[in-house]
A and B are shown apart, each in its own frame.
Chain A
C-alpha cells in the first residue's frame, strides 16, 4: 500500500498562499484524516495528492518516487468526491466498471470485482438505476464502490459524508472503516467534522490557514493537544484557555488561584518559567450551586442544551468560561461556583503556544473523548 511523503510542499495561487511548507508522512495502510475549517487547505492538500492541483514548490513522494509531475491517471489511486461525481447518464453498474473497462481488464475479473463491491456496499438490486433515481446514501455507496473496485493502493475521500443526513452519517462512518479493513488501502480522508475525524482516523492531521498544526492519534489530539489551536479546535465546546502565572504550588489566574498537585508543581518548577497558558476542558470543570472550599464564583450567561448534558457559559472576572455538566438546574443569571480538576490541566508555553507536556504520573491517563 502507498506511503505518501510531503516535503516542504507549498501551494500558491498568484500571491495567495494556500499551503505553506507542508511536511508529513502518510503511513502505508493507515487511515489519515485531514481536518480543519473550510478554507484551511485540507481539500487542496488532498487534490495535490490526487494530482488535480499542481504543486508550487516542494516534493511529493509516493512509495519513495517523486510524483509532482505524474498525472492523476498514472498515480494508481482512487477518489470519492464530495458530490460523488457519478456519471449521470450511466447506470450504477456502468459507473462502477467504467474505469475497469477502459483498463481492459478481463470480463470475468470485472464481473467478480463488481459483484463483490455490490455485495459489500449493499447495492444489490440497484444495478440498473441511474444516479438520479438513488438516495443520497446509495449514491455515496456507489461512489465508494467505484473507488474500491479499482483496487488501487490509495483511496482519497473528500468530505464523502457531508451530503448525508446525521443518522446515515453515523452508519456510514462504520461502513467506511469496515471497507478499509476489507481492502486495506491507504486512506486519506478530508473532513471538517471532528467527530468523523476522531471515529474514523488512525491519525488526524489538523490544518489551519494552510499550515499543519498537529498530526497525531485521535486520542492524543484530544488528551494531549500539541498546541493551543488544537486544544480549542478539538472537543465541543473547545478547551477553556487562560493566561496565568505559576508560583509555589499555585496557579494565579487574575485574582484567583488554584492549587496544583505535587506532580504538576514539580514539573513546572523544572521549567524555569512563570508565564503560561492554562487549559481545561469544559467537561473537567466541576460546578456547584453553593460556595465550597476552593471554588470560585461566576454568573451564568447562557445555557446550551445537548440533551443528556448541558453547556453552561458563565462569566468570572470578566472572562467567559464554559463547562459541560449533566445537571439541569443552572439558569442564566444565577450564581455559580466552580472548581477545576487540577489533575486534568493542560499547560502551554506562553510564547510558542505549544504544550509543555505532562508530569510522568499522568502518562497513560486517558480522558475520555466526548462528543455532543
Chain B
C-alpha cells in the first residue's frame, strides 16, 4: 500500500519536474507565437489601421476583398513561379549533388560539405547586396564576364519574370547549403551495402538514384521539400525589400511581401491578417504532409 502510494507520488513529482522544464519555452511560445496566431485570425475579421482606437467588425469582408483583389492573381502566380524555381535549385540540385558526393566521389567529402554550407551562415542582406553588384547589368562582374562571350545581361530589375529568377538565385544562395547537408545526411543513411549490391548487378547510376536512393531517403526528401517552400517564402522577404521593393509593378511581390506591404506600409491591418490566414492554409497542408510522411518515416527504418 505504502509502496503504491510512493510510486504515485514519484510519478506526479516527475510530471511536475517535466512541466517545470518545459515551462520557460512554453511561456515565450504562448506570448510570441500562439497568441499572435490567434490574434491574427481575430484581426482578420476587422477593419483597422493599427492606430485608430476602434476596430470595426466586418465579418468576412477582408476575405471577400482578398479574392476580388485585382493584384492577387499576379501575387499568387509570382509565388508559385518562385517556389517552382526554388524547388529545382534547392531540392533537385542538392539531391543530385549529395548522391554524387556520397556514392560516386570518394575523396573530399568533408571539404565539399563545409564549403557548400558556408554561404548559409551569411546574412541575406549581404547576399542581396552581393548579387545586386554581381548581377548589375552594366558594371557587375557577371555582366563584364558575359560581355567577353558576347552576351548582354538584361536589366533584370525592370523585367517581369527575370526579376523573380534573380530573387530565387539570392535565396537559393542562402538555402542551398543547409538543404545539401541535410539531404546528404539522408542519402548516406542508405547503407553502403545496398549501393554495392546494385553496382554488382550493373545498375546504372541514374537508376540507383531513382529506384533506390530516392525512395529510401524519401523521409528526408519530403522534409526538405517542405522546408524549401517554408524557408523560401520566409527568406525572400529580405531580397524583395532590399533589392526590388516588390517592383517593377509588383512583378516581384509575393504573398509574404504583400502581407508586409498591406500591413506596415498601407496600414490595412485587417486585410493583411486575412492574407496571413489564407496563406496559413498552404502551411497547414505542408504540416500535415510532414507529419503524415516524415515523422512516421516512410520506408526505411532500422
Contacts and interface: CB of A to CB of B under 8 A. Distances in A.
In their complex, do chains A and B touch, with some C-beta pair under 8 Å?
A: yes
Interface of A: 50-52, 71-75, 77-79, 81-83, 85-89, 98-99, 102-103, 132, 146, 150
25 contacts: A50-B196, A51-B199, A52-B196, A52-B199, A52-B200, A73-B199, A77-B200, A79-B197, A79-B200, A81-B197, A83-B191, A85-B194, A85-B196, A85-B197, A86-B194, A87-B211, A87-B216, A88-B299, A89-B215, A98-B201, A102-B201, A102-B204, A102-B207, A103-B202, A146-B197
B199 A88 contact: no
Contacts of A82: 193
| Most chain B CB atoms below 10 A, which of A75, A77, A83, A87 | A87
A164 B62 CA distance: 67
Contacts of A88: 216, 299-300
Nearest to B299: A89
B203 interface: yes
A82 B196 CA distance: 12
B196 A72 contact: yes
Contact of B201 (A51, A52, A99): A99
Contact of A85 (B191, B215, B301): B191
B200 A89 contact: no
Given A88-B216, A89-B300, A102-B202, 6 more contacts: A72-B202, A74-B202, A87-B194, A88-B300, A98-B211, A99-B201
Contact of B203 (A77, A89, A102): A102
| Most chain B CB atoms below 10 A, which of A72, A75, A103 | A72
Contacts of A83: 191, 193
Contacts of A87: 194, 211-212, 216
Nearest to B215: A89
Given A81-B193, A87-B194, A89-B216, A50 B200 contact: yes
Contact of A73 (B200, B216, B301): B200
B203 A99 contact: yes
A115 B211 CA distance: 23
Nearest to B202: A73
Contacts of A132: 301
A351 B200 CA distance: 44
Given A79-B200, A102-B202, A102-B203, A85 B193 contact: yes
B219 to A, nearest CB: 11
Task: Please name the 3 residue pairs, one residue from A and one from B, whose CB atoms are nearest each other, closest first.
Answer: A73-B202, A99-B201, A85-B193
